[in-house]
Amino acid sequence: MLSVLEKIFFILVVAAALFFAFKEFFRKYKLISYGKRVNRFDKPVKRFFYMCGRIIFQICSYSRRPITGFFHSMIFWGFIVFMFVTINHVFEGFFKGLDLFGIGLIHKMLIFSANFFAGMIIIAVFYFFIRRFIFKASSLDVPSKESFIILCLLFSLMVTFIFFQAYKIVNGLSEPETANFISTFVFKDILPVNGMGADFWLRFFWWSHILLIIGFGVFIPYSKHLHLIAGPINTVLKHNGVMAEIPVVNLEEQEKFGTPNIDDFTRKDLLDLFACAECGRCDDVCPAFNSEKDLSPKMLMHKLKENLIESEDILNGKEGDLKFLFANVISEEEVWDCTTCGACMEVCPMINEHIPKIMGMRQHAVLMESKFPEEFTSAFRGLENQGNPWGINADTREEWAKDLDIPHISEKKETDILLWVGCEASFDDHSQKSAKMFVKILKKAGVDFAFLGNEEKCCGDPARRTGHEYLYQIIAMENIETLNKYKFSRIVTMCPHGYHILKNEYSKMGGNYNVLHYSELIQELIENNKIKLKKNSDKRITYHDPCYLGRYNKIYNAPRKVLKNIYEGNLKEMKNNKKISFCCGAGGGGMWKEENRGERISHLRLKHAEHVGANTIVTACPYCSIMFKDAINDTENKDLKTEDLAQIVFDNLDM
């Protein structure tokens, strides 16, 4: 079909396109390579198949946005089909009448699939155009010329394909057939009857389609749509360990801490920036963003990417200094607004890791610049001097239990269950009630247990999540030394933050323990008939998943099973539950920091409970319980109350 000159021109165009595309790919690769090396190559086969399953089935696209996910998957699957169509398209141009897929069943299946997806992609283009530029979805608040260009390219690619196929019929190179249904419709009802200039239009649509494909390929590495390539690679390199894991810093050997500059991030961190599709799913679930704070996880990634690109000359060796990220590229408010709840990372289709970037900037701010919210000063001092963030006399830690006759592990030396009480249950009046009731449940069940009493200190979570790694490591090593003096089978914690630290983070420093959350132990006692519960229909309850129990450690079922033993059909689920639960606002140092901007996060969560008609919000975390109690008092809400799971269980024990 093509003349010799056209074939030469085609080869030159492809060569030029490959040159410009690979030039930009290499540029972005070089920028990423300035990051610190990180090993994400273990279990390569498992990683590869995980990526294939996630990408091919497009499961992540449907989460919370089923309609958008459907049209996104239509575009993705359509392009898989059009990869084969494009190869055939090129051969048709070079060899008139040639079809790589013959005229049989495979040909019909490919043509039918191409027609179907061409139609669906055109519909998808209109949907995304209306959603982004007319209704202006809140998660797509930043105007995007790139998105407009991509939508135009997609629409034009489908139209040129359809008309090329139609003019093949006009030129006798193809027959009208059911499989080619859209192009056959165009041939019969849209094209001129006499087919004037049919050969010209055949060539025109062939060239239009192929040049648009080439242009699309060149455009990808220059735009945010580089995520089409960076995303799958990012998925292969996902972190297979603990969510938002904070590496243990060698305090003696390192000269600087955290991530003061863009090149202090890992290569995976920098790859994240180009994998980000700016879809806004992270903003949809971020408690800080939804309560009108400064932090937007999407814009955090965008700002860091812009800084990386702006720093290219300096990274390549030209004179100049890299910008400090903290307070320059990312504002102080953005860094400290994060509750480290992990919701952004849970919903990100590209497996981007937002929280480690924030934690790196926090470590730099605290350890190198001594810049942190004023309220943290007393918390740090209390942790250092008294082993708790309130600075309450450490010798009073066990006073809450003076009438409960709990054995000390120092006296027993050995026990089955070591009860890790935590700071809240030791010093906060509201949380102490839950701890007392849990102790009574253990005694009722005949559990062999003991506690550390005044030997216990804060687990270190408040220090670590606010960037004070030095203080955390001191606390952790002291606690590990204490724990290693005694023999016990399992540690049971009252607090999910303590559970996470003791189970997942102490192990990196030599403290390996079998750790349970108290909701798991209660469920175990029920299943083993150690305790029995009465049925109750007096309350309409909803369960709030604590972030560090749910998203971080995937404990969703145990608390619900316990509650269903009591309330059966009266357990109402909030829209944001389980892996997309909404934070109470206390994590990441939020417990000790005032919310001076926007609405309180805990107030927003109460509204979620009210929306489902619940009159009691149950949680299994003292952080959450304190936040909800204060929120109920602040809002003077007389229709809602908060109760801890241990309190619910104790009140409904079948004595």
Convert 372-386 to b/e letters by CB count within 10 Å (16 or more is b). bbeebeebbebbeeb
Residues 301-354 pLDDT 10s: 999 999 999 999 999 999 889 999 999 999 999 999 999 999 999 999 999 999
Question: Of 371, 404, 421, which residue constitutes the final position of a domain?
Answer: 371
User: Residue 189: pLDDT band by 50, 70, 90 thresholds?
Assistant: confident
Query: H helices within 171-286, ranges in order?
Result: 181-189, 198-222, 227-236, 267-275, 281-285
Q: 317 with 429, same domain? A: no
User: Residue 21: pLDDT band by 50, 70, 90 thresholds?
Assistant: very high
| 297 contacts 355 by C-beta, under 8 angstroms | no
Query: What's residue 141's pLDDT?
Result: 64
We report the CATH number of the domain holding residue 616 as 3.40.50
Token digits of residue 56: 């091919």
Q: What percent of the chain has pLDDT over 70?
A: 98
Query: What's residue 179's pLDDT?
Result: 85
Q: For the residues 569-583, what does the mean pLDDT come to? A: 91
Please check whether residue 267 lies inside any domain of the structure.
yes
Q: 448 with 551, same domain? A: no
Q: What percent of the chain has pLDDT over 90?
A: 78
| 231 contacts 279 by C-beta, under 8 angstroms | no
Residues 458-491 pLDDT 10s: 999 999 999 999 999 999 999 999 999 999 999 9
Q: 448 with 594, same domain? A: no
Query: What's residue 143's pLDDT?
Result: 54
Query: What's residue 172's pLDDT?
Result: 80
Question: Of 465, 487, 521, which residue constitutes the final position of a domain?
Answer: 521
Judged against a pLDDT cut of 80, whether residue 2 lies above it is answered with: yes
Question: Of 164, 198, 222, which residue constitutes the final position of a domain?
Answer: 222
Please check whether residue 28 lies inside any domain of the structure.
no
Q: How far is CA 6 from the centre of its chain?
A: 49
Query: What's residue 193's pLDDT?
Result: 55
Please check whether residue 51 lies inside any domain of the structure.
no
Q: 70 with 201, same domain? A: yes
We report the CATH number of the domain holding residue 265 as 1.10.1060
Q: 233 with 218, same domain? A: no
Q: 306 with 327, same domain? A: yes
d(CA 522, CA 636): 32
Query: What's residue 67's pLDDT?
Result: 92
**Rounded to a whole number, what is the largest CA-CA distance in the chain?**
101
d(CA 560, CA 544): 10
d(CA 526, CA 530): 6
Query: What's residue 655's pLDDT?
Result: 65
Residues 241-253 pLDDT 10s: 899 999 998 888 8
Please check whether residue 247 lies inside any domain of the structure.
no
Please check whether residue 361 lies inside any domain of the structure.
yes
- Structural domain tally of the chain? 4
Judged against a pLDDT cut of 80, whether residue 263 lies above it is answered with: yes
User: Residue 92: pLDDT band by 50, 70, 90 thresholds?
Assistant: confident
Residues 527-555 pLDDT 10s: 999 999 998 878 889 999 999 999 999 99
Q: 68 with 156, same domain? A: yes
Q: 116 with 172, same domain? A: yes
Q: 357 with 293, same domain? A: yes
Domain, as residue range, for 410: 377-521
Q: 613 with 484, same domain? A: no
Query: What's residue 134's pLDDT?
Result: 85
Please check whether residue 484 lies inside any domain of the structure.
yes
Please check whether residue 335 lies inside any domain of the structure.
yes
Query: What's residue 88's pLDDT?
Result: 87
Please check whether residue 23 lies inside any domain of the structure.
no
Q: 71 with 206, same domain? A: yes
Q: 210 with 232, same domain? A: no
Judged against a pLDDT cut of 90, whether residue 25 lies above it is answered with: yes
Report the Cα–Cα distance between both ends of the chain, in Å, rounded.
Answer: 89
